[in-house]
Amino acid sequence: MRIRSFDDDIIDTLLEPIRNPVTGKIHRAIIELPEGFEATRMNQASTKTLSVNTNSLKFRYDGTYGSFSEIVWKSS
């Protein structure tokens, strides 16, 4: 799975599956937090692109890790 997100050249993110550095095969990693606040299951990924570009904040972290999950907001 590849996920791409961008917002008017402010945020640019491309997540790809984590790959085994020796074989290049996809390596799936999942973090489960049964009592998690924002998510209970997070799929881990590799950030092919991760950058933020605003007047006050600029950074780029390509090749690090990221995660994606379904988030359901509920009122208390």
pLDDT tens readout for residues 27-70: 989 999 998 888 889 999 998 888 888 889 999 988 888 888 87
This prediction has a pTM of 0.65
Cα 11–48–26 angle (5° rounding)? 140
Lookup: tokens for 37: 């606040």
Measured between alpha carbons, how far is residue 71 from residues 32, 40, 54 in Å?
A: 13, 9, 26
Q: What share of the chain is helix, strand, coil (3-state, %, to 5)?
A: 0, 45, 55
What is the Cα–Cα distance from 36 to 38, expressed in whole angstroms? 6
Q: Which residue has the higher pLDDT, 28 or 74?
A: 28
Residue boundaries of the structural domains of the chain: 3-68
| Owner of token pair 């050249």 | 9
